[in-house]
């Protein structure tokens, strides 16, 4: 792993641990969607945080699928207090009658996933499920349904494997906790 960047406190999940869990999630999803046709199954990645997780998960799926993306407002104090989520870029493909799997990096208060589930349900998909890599159960404010979960983690700010702090550390190959002095201003 080499020398950790100065702002990193400790590594929470190293590359092999992430790879094993992603493979297990892909196997479970492949089994659940067995027999599906490419045009009927779409993974919707939530930008930017999910892009690495989605790339690894998708390449391990043994069922045909399409990939689409949606971008939402980044984490903000205001969003935390009010639960308001802003849509930055919508998906391209029509969802009606298709099986949709939301792929998200991390579940914190739950407002983002709750917003997405409401938005997508209104588009009348054949089914709607969600696959989330990380969850901080202590932080939950709304009750949301997660069908596939990678790991439960403590309430610390994590970076790497797609996750960032002010757009830094996003492409670290592991998931690490940031030193509290970096994110607690
Ligand atoms: P909610 O509160 O809506 O938040 O469930 C989900 C979004 O909050 C961001 N988030 C994090 N991003 N490290 C990050 O890089 C973290 O520890 C973290 N906690 C929450 C993230 O954008 C997620 O989609
Ligand atoms: Mg995110």
CB of 158 closer than 6 angstroms to any ligand 1 atom: yes
What is the pTM for the complete model shown? 0.95
pLDDT at 7 over 80: yes
Whole-number pLDDT of residue 56: 98
Whole-number pLDDT of residue 95: 95
pLDDT at 129 over 90: yes
Give me the percent of the chain exceeding a pLDDT of 70: 94
From the alpha carbon of 164, which atom of ligand 1 is closest? Answer: 15
Whole-number pLDDT of residue 2: 73
Rounded to the nearest angstrom, the distance between the alpha carbon of 175 and the centre of ligand 2 is 14
Confidence grade of residue 84 (pLDDT, cut at 50, 70, 90) = confident
Whole-number pLDDT of residue 3: 82
From CA 109, how far away is CA 156, in angstroms rounded? 13
> In terms of DSSP bridges, do strands 8-13 and 175-178 run parallel, antiparallel, or are they unpaired?
antiparallel
15 CB neighbour count, 10 Å cutoff? 15
From CA 36, how far away is CA 39, in angstroms rounded? 9
Question: Which residue, judged by its Cα, is nearest atom 22 of ligand 1?
Answer: 75
Confidence grade of residue 1 (pLDDT, cut at 50, 70, 90) = low
pLDDT at 52 over 70: yes
Rounded to the nearest angstrom, the distance between the alpha carbon of 35 and the centre of ligand 2 is 30
pLDDT at 90 over 60: yes
CB of 106 closer than 6 angstroms to any ligand 1 atom: yes
Give me the percent of the chain exceeding a pLDDT of 90: 86
Question: Which residue, judged by its Cα, is nearest atom 9 of ligand 1?
Answer: 75
Residue 185 near residue 77, CB atoms below 8 Å: no
Task: Give the CATH fold of the 8-183 domain.
Answer: Rossmann fold (3.40.50)
Whole-number pLDDT of residue 24: 98
Find the helix or strand (DSSP H, E) in which 182 lies. helix 180-183
Residue 95: both structure tokens together: 């969802």
**Average pLDDT of the chain to the nearest whole number:** 93
From CA 124, how far away is CA 157, in angstroms rounded? 35
Whole-number pLDDT of residue 75: 56
Rounded to the nearest angstrom, the distance between the alpha carbon of 80 and the centre of ligand 1 is 10
Picking from 54-63, 71-80, 86-95, 161-170, which range would have the lowest pLDDT averaged per residue? 71-80
From CA 52, how far away is CA 59, in angstroms rounded? 11
Whole-number pLDDT of residue 109: 94
pLDDT at 68 over 80: yes
In the chain, where the domains are located: 8-183
């Amino acid at each position: 792993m080499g020398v950790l960047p100065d702002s990193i406190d400790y590594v929470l999940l190293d590359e092999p641990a992430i790879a094993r869990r992603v493979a297990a999630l892909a196997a479970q999803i492949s089994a659940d969607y067995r027999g599906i046709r490419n045009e009927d199954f779409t993974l919707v990645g939530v930008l930017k945080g999910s892009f690495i997780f989605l790339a690894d998960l998708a390449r391990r799926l043994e069922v045909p699928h399409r990939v689409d993306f949606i971008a939402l407002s980044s984490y903000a104090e205001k969003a935390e207090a009010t639960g308001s989520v802003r849509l930055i870029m919508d998906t391209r493909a029509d969802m009606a009658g298709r099986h949709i799997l939301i792929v998200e990096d991390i579940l914190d208060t739950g407002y983002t996933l709750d917003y997405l589930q409401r938005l997508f349900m209104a588009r009348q998909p054949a089914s709607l499920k969600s696959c989330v890599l990380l969850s901080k159960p202590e932080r939950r404010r709304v009750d949301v349904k997660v069908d596939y979960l990678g790991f439960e983690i403590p309430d610390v700010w994590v970076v790497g494997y797609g996750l960032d702090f002010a757009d830094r550390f996003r492409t670290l190959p592991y998931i690490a906790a940031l030193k509290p002095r970096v994110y607690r201003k």
